Amino acid sequence: MTLRPETISAKALPSSTASDQVFADRAIIPPIQLATTYARDAAYQLVGPGYARDENPTPVHAERVIATLEGGAEALAFASGMAAATAVFRAACRPGDRIVAPLAGYYNLRGWLERFCAQWGLDLQVVDMTDLAAVRAAIRPGTRVVWVESPANPTWEVTDLAAVGALARAAGALFAVDSTSATPVHCKPLALGADLVMHSATKFLGGHSDVLAGVLVTARTDATWAAIRQLRHDEGACLGPFEAYLLLRGLRTLFVRVERSSATAAALAARLQPLCTVLYPGLPSHPQHAIAAAQMQRGFGSMLAIRTGGGAERALAVIRKLRLWVPATSLGGVESLVEHRYTVEGANTPTPQDLLRLAVGIEHVEDLFDDLAQALA
């Protein structure tokens, strides 16, 4: 029987047809296996894993669960989301290649891409991924990677994944999607034509702000995937077993957490509209709402942004009045966080000064709304 994603997640099953009800020793939860190496048999052959830099069974288990949830062939877990993202470019690109990357997206990856491309002689094209004509103009033969993030930090623009994927494929480029904010609950980029999906598992997949992890999922096990696997093996940015255990623990509640926080985000977005400008893909007023409705399921995610007006000063004053929303960088935990991205990103950022990023957790919607309403009043 083919199992549904909620069941795969709740039971941390490594495949959608898994029939085993229990793990080793009849444990009902996946074990942590701490061994760094495994004994060989009498013929000096390996029976299971060998030296466990990247073969430890606990991270391998987490990889299989996430690959199954994304509908991919295989997954690789990394020590952080940045380790996962940078591995793609480092394994796939050579000097002279072109990289097409999004204007809206995780700020630190943009900074790293600028340094990486300057150092190694790559041609970085940063484009507005919501403008298909601009994307078409930027992708040309010699383009090696097209990277997008959807919905994208910190304005939650949505990229038409099928359309950008078709442009990338026509040019022979690898199409990779940072789906951290969408999670496998809301979007399946591989089904829309992506070659690779990346998650900062530090966020929703882990879900409790207590583990740093990253993951890549591939549509197929091709030469690029082999190069990424080799790079992780050689450089060792692997996920440790304790972290993988925490990730598996978080994955088992992924659907209930994300469905709740995204329903709360949708309610907050609607109710905040009379008070301020709201950026949320689920609002009909959002410029890419139709695309989001077509390529996302079960809601529009747990991330939104508000524009307070009155520049950085007013945005920071609103944060100071909040009692429940914690001023902190990050997202995807069970607790709601507020972030002034302009302060964090510095003067060269395109992020508006009056923008507050809201990462919605699983607290009661009325408490979260009341706190925002009194702070904005």
Residue ranges that bind ligand PLP, judged by CB under 6 A:
80-82, 106, 109, 149, 153, 178, 180-181, 200, 202-203, 212, 214, 331
CA pseudo-torsion sign 78, 191, 71, 247? positive
Q: How far is the CB of 179 from ligand PLP (least distance, A)?
A: 9
Q: How far is the CB of 68 from ligand PLP (least distance, A)?
A: 21
Q: How many whole angstroms separate alpha carbon 183 and alpha carbon 255?
A: 10
Q: How far is the CB of 77 from ligand PLP (least distance, A)?
A: 11
Rank residues 85 and 219 by Cβ distance to ligand PLP and give the closer one: 85
Burial class (CB in 10 A: 0-12, 13-18, 19+), 126: middle
Q: How far is the CB of 165 from ligand PLP (least distance, A)?
A: 18
Burial class (CB in 10 A: 0-12, 13-18, 19+), 274: exposed
Rank residues 192 and 205 by Cβ distance to ligand PLP and give the closer one: 205
Rank residues 109 and 254 by Cβ distance to ligand PLP and give the closer one: 109
- 355-359 sheet: strands from edge to edge: 277-279, 303-307, 355-359, 337-339, 326-327
Rank residues 153 and 159 by Cβ distance to ligand PLP and give the closer one: 153
Question: Within 10 Å of residue 312's Cβ, how many Cβ atoms?
Answer: 15
Given the DSSP bridges, would you call strands 326-327 and 337-339 parallel, antiparallel or unpaired? parallel
Given the DSSP bridges, would you call strands 74-78 and 214-218 parallel, antiparallel or unpaired? antiparallel
Phi first, then psi: give them for residue 352, nearest 5 degrees. -60, 150
Q: Is the peptide bond before 151 cis (omega within 30 degrees of 0)?
A: yes
Q: How far is the CB of 377 from ligand PLP (least distance, A)?
A: 30
Q: How far is the CB of 87 from ligand PLP (least distance, A)?
A: 12
In which residue are the tokens 């399921």 written? Answer: 297
Q: How many whole angstroms separate alpha carbon 356 and alpha carbon 95?
A: 38
Rank residues 33 and 280 by Cβ distance to ligand PLP and give the closer one: 280
Rank residues 82 and 268 by Cβ distance to ligand PLP and give the closer one: 82
- Confirm if 347 and 305 have CB atoms less than 8 A apart: no
* Structure tokens given for 15: 């495949």
Distance of CA 181 to the CA centre of its chain: 5
Rank residues 82 and 161 by Cβ distance to ligand PLP and give the closer one: 82
Q: How far is the CB of 153 from ligand PLP (least distance, A)?
A: 5
Q: How many whole angstroms separate alpha carbon 369 and alpha carbon 280?
A: 15
Give the three-state DSSP class for 69.
helix
Q: Which amino acid is at 18?
A: A
Half-sphere exposure of 138 (CA within 13 A, CB side): 25
Q: How far is the CB of 212 from ligand PLP (least distance, A)?
A: 5
Q: How far is the CB of 95 from ligand PLP (least distance, A)?
A: 25
| CB-based closest residue to ligand PLP | 81
Q: Which amino acid is at 295?
A: Q
Rank residues 195 and 371 by Cβ distance to ligand PLP and give the closer one: 195
Rank residues 202 and 218 by Cβ distance to ligand PLP and give the closer one: 202
